[in-house]
Each structure stands twice: as structure tokens, then as C-alpha cells.
Amino acid sequence: MVLGKQLLRAGTSVGANYRAAVRGKSRADFILKMGYVEEECDESLYWMEMLIESGSLRPKLASALMIEGEEILSIVVASIKTARRNK
């Protein structure tokens, strides 16, 4: 299914981009790459919503994963704000 593949791509991109951010060459590079993490995490949540709306995924099964995704997104946004503030 197309939606599931999109979720797989976005979800795995979160981890890959986070790893790249941690290994960033500078604070600016870290902030840039954490921005990608933020985008991909939000996109993952979007694809889960689409899977639920399409009837391909039961909300009860996705609930805990979506809560965790929102928590990760909040942590990433806070990290970006902290990195910008500590420039």
C-alpha cells in the first residue's frame, strides 16, 4: 500500500536524520538537520492519520505510536529552540 510505504520512508528518515544531526559539523548544521528530523516526524504522524482515515489502520493500534511520535516531535522542537538560543 502506498500510504504504508510513505510511512516507512518518513519513519526511518527520522532516525537517519537524527543520527546525521548528532554528527553535525557545526551548531548550524545540527539545527538544519534537526529541522529535517522535525519535518519527517511530523510527516510520519500525517501518514498514520491517513492510514487511519483510509481504514487501513485501526486507531486503537496507532494510538500509542502516535502519542510517542508527538512526544518525539516535541523533544526535537525543544532541542532546535535550545540550540538556536545557545548560539
Question: Coil, helix or strand for 55?
Answer: coil
Which fold would CATH assign to domain 2-85?
de novo design (two linked rop proteins) (1.20.1440)
Segment holding 17, helix H or strand E: helix 2-22
Between CA 16 and CA 55 the distance in angstroms is 29
Write the single-letter amino acid at 22: V
Report pLDDT digits (tens) over 21-32.
999 999 999 999
Report pLDDT digits (tens) over 71-87.
999 999 999 999 999 97
Enter the pTM of the model: 0.91
φ, ψ for residue 36, nearest 5 deg: -65, -40
* Residue ranges of domains in the chain: 2-85
